Structure formats: C-alpha cells, structure tokens
Structure 1
C-alpha cells in the first residue's frame, strides 16, 4: 500500500533531500514551499505534488492542509521549515525575533494543529519535526534559535501524551550542521562589535567540514518514519552525536563551561 508524506520547507536542504529519498522509496510526496513555481527538480519527479506553504501564514496553512488531505491519504507530516538566527540578543531587531519564533516554533505548532483532527479521525499518523542538536544543548550567541528548538523538544514530548491517546506518533530529528544550508538562506547573522570576537570563534567551531550532507540526515528521517518504534528523539549525524555524547559524559554544567571557554577563550575565567 502506497504511503504519503507531507513535507514543509522542501525547496532546499534537508526538506528537498527527504522528498527525493521518500519518492525513490515509492512514497507519494507532498512537497510544500513558499514559491513552488521556482522549483525545477522536484516537479519533474513522479508522485511528487508541489503545494504553496508559508508556515507563518495561518490561513495558507489551513488551505494547503485541506487541499492535501482531500487529495491524498497522508501518513506522515514532516515539519522541516525553519532557519538559524545567530548573534547577540542586543543585536537582534524585533522583526528578527518575531520571524525566528514565528517560523521555527509557531509554524510547526500551526501545521501540526491543522493535521491532528485528520489523524485522530483515522486513528493513525506520525509527526516528525526537525529540531536540532541545538534543542538538546547550547552554543553562545544562539539564544533565540535555541529558544525555538528547545521549545520544540519540550512541546513534542508533551504532545506525545495527548497524541498517543489516538495512536498518533510524534518524533524529533536533531541534526548538527547540514552542509547544504550552512551560510545560505537558512542562516541569518546579526552582528554587534561587542561580540564580534566570539562570533568569529563560533563560526570556527561551526566548520562546514564537520557537517553532514542533507542526504545523510534524510536517511534518519526515513528511519524514524518506518521503524515503528515508540522513540521520541533521533540525534542525527556524527557531529551532533559527538556533541551530545560529550554533554552526557561530563554533565550539563561542565559542558556549558567547556563551550564558554571554547568560544570566548581568554574573555572568560
């Protein structure tokens, strides 16, 4: 029996890689993005449907979800739309703060909320959300990004209780850096002279050589969608697993001190 996955943020990076992978595995794919007319690859693939979706637009979410469930029997919703905002808090504009929270957090919540009645009625379904290793540990100068990703981890855990009543699953994928997104449209940097030295060190730490191709992380999404496990969190990629294992090994307090020293060096005791 053919299955269908609904993907947000499918125009680039992990979203596109996931769409291609599931399509190659025989799934129907509903790939959503803000500007489907600009897509030149996914629209050539069999059993891939492109739909417009800006996750900061509640009205469009409702309309797109309605169209999707009227034309396909959807099994998995992959909440993937999001981006990174880096910099000191005092460097951010209010517009940046709102955009980060609206996209990374509220967008996921809105899309999920729109699908719950459908999954509840058929007593089956699975939500998968891209969080980040930044939802399980922190870097300096990433506070608002972390606020959204930690929120998604806690929200997903809490949602597992109520969704479980109706045989609906929820899982998170926590990758480290993904090569195709680094320093691209999925990264917004706010600069302030008082923090420039630390920002430079942070970018050194976030070396793209440590990051995994989007296709590797897409494999983890496919695993989560098909393994039938009651597993909430999937830490994805070697870089993310190294960071998370180190935090578990030495404890959260020591990990914070170690990270502080790594990024700010002689600026801290």
Structure 2
C-alpha cells in the first residue's frame, strides 16, 4: 500500500491557506494546517486536516511542528509557505518595528520554515516548496512599499533556492495571486490608516484605503480556490512551472509591467486607486 504524501500549509485558518489545505486533502495528501490560533482550524479538522499550532516568527514552534509531522508520518513532501499579511502605509510613516515585523512574517518566517523542512526533503531526494508571493512581487502600488518589498524579496529568494535544491530532486514553485477575496484587503487598509491617516500622506491614504474596501473592487476579486487549484497543479505535475500567476488582474498587470515605462505604470496604478497622476 502506498503511503500518502504529507503536506504542511501555513496560514491555514482562512482564505488561501484554508482553500489550499482542502484542495490537498482532496488530492489524497495528509495535510497539516498551521496557524497561530488553532481554534480557527476546527472546521478544517472535521474535514480531515490535522491542526498544528505554529507561529512563523517563533523558531521553536516551527521546529516542534515539523518534528511532530515527521514523527507521525515519516515525511514531508510539500510545504506551502502561505502565512503573511499586508502592512500598508507611506514609507516615511511606517515605524521600523512594523516594517521589521512585515519582513519577519512574510520573508524570514517562510525561509526559516523552509530551512527546517529541507533536510527531510533532501533525505528522500524529493519534495516541493511552494512560496505564495503575489503579483505584488513584480508590480508596485501606492503606499505599499514595505509589503511589496517582502514579496519582491521572496521572489528572488525562491529563484536562488530553486537552483540550489535542484540536484536533490526538490522543486521550488512561486504562486503569484492577483486580487483574491480574503481578509487581506481589510487588514491592509487598517494598517494603512493607522500608519498614514492625519499626516502628510493622509489624502493618499484615504483614497487607497477606500479603494481596498470598495464593494466594486470586492466583487471583482477571485475566490481563494483559484490559488488552491494552482497549488494542486504545481504539486502534482511531473515538471511544475516555476511560477503560477492567477486571480483577478494578475496576468494582465504583470504583462503591462513588462511593457510599460515606469512612469506610465505609475500613472496607471495611481489612477486605479483614485490618486492624482
């Protein structure tokens, strides 16, 4: 009898992480869903997911989680680094403490978890590391400097890692979501208002936050399942693509970024959120 493959998904308590965990379960994986608060994972546990308390900014909690998975299943075949959030605000306004936290969660947490998982994958000479970045790892939006910085960084790190682990039979895949219907926009808007409301950038902050919260924008967003489907394709492919861009706006905006001059792209993005060009 073939032993089921094992997957670890971070940020599994909602949105993309939840949809991805359910997709991998449907593909026959033993899935561990990680989140800081496991009380939000009970619904998924009823559908076959194994809840795992994990904070990607806490080295010990990541080690404990990986040790538990290996002790219970003997393997880790897939890790989906999905945990992350959007911290928006003018570069001048965002406190250094918050900027560092954005990198700790979105970049260093993903890389550190990968470091802990890789020895187990190398021992089996197989595995897939899936890093959920964003179309925001290739484009820029007003007042999103620190967030985009984390996603650009994770894109570059993924490229380097892909070359490093290839000799061990390990794949590295980048998933670049476009606009997805999750809690992300509301959280980013809250951070934006906290950082830049009332100051020199308040007019920009109000416009961008309103755009993030608008019903018109929410209606255009894609469901998280489109990202889960992309992850499913990547982990089951014999030779997965290095990148999967999907979700509202992802492919058109990435294509425009490749062909438009910088200032023309700046003007287009400013116009999209109601800012003067």
In the superposition, the TM-score normalised over structure 1's length comes to 0.91
Moved over 6 A (4+): none
- Give 3-state SS (helix, strand or coil) of 1:137's partner: coil
- Alignment RMSD, CA only? 2.0
Q: Using the TM superposition, give the Cα deviation of residue 251 of structure 1 relative to its aligned residue in structure 2, in angstroms.
A: 4.6
Verify: 1:172 aligned to 2:186, yes or no.
no
Residue ranges of structure 2 left out of the alignment (5+ in a row): none
- Give 3-state SS (helix, strand or coil) of 2:18's partner: helix
1:1-269 alignment, distance < 5 Å: 1=2, 2-46=4-48, 48-72=49-73, 73-185=75-187, 188-189=191-192, 190-192=195-197, 193-203=199-209, 205-206=211-212, 207-252=217-262, 254-260=264-270, 262-263=272-273, 265-266=275-276, 268=277
Distance in 2 (alpha carbons) for counterparts of 1:227 and 1:156: 18
Distance in 2 (alpha carbons) for counterparts of 1:125 and 1:229: 12
- Give 3-state SS (helix, strand or coil) of 1:40's partner: helix
User: In 2, are the aligned partners of 1:6 and 1:77 still within 8 Å (CA)?
Assistant: yes
Q: Using the TM superposition, give the Cα deviation of residue 264 of structure 1 relative to its aligned residue in structure 2, in angstroms.
A: 6.9
Q: Using the TM superposition, give the Cα deviation of residue 198 of structure 1 relative to its aligned residue in structure 2, in angstroms.
A: 2.0
Say how many residue pairs are matched.
Answer: 266
Residue ranges of structure 1 left out of the alignment (5+ in a row): none
- Give 3-state SS (helix, strand or coil) of 2:174's partner: strand
User: In 2, are the aligned partners of 1:210 and 1:239 still within 8 Å (CA)?
Assistant: no
User: In 2, are the aligned partners of 1:82 and 1:186 still within 8 Å (CA)?
Assistant: no
User: In 2, are the aligned partners of 1:32 and 1:52 still within 8 Å (CA)?
Assistant: yes
Distance in 1 (alpha carbons) for counterparts of 2:70 and 2:52: 12
Distance in 1 (alpha carbons) for counterparts of 2:172 and 2:249: 24
- Cα 1:215–1:261 shift into 2, 3 Å: closer
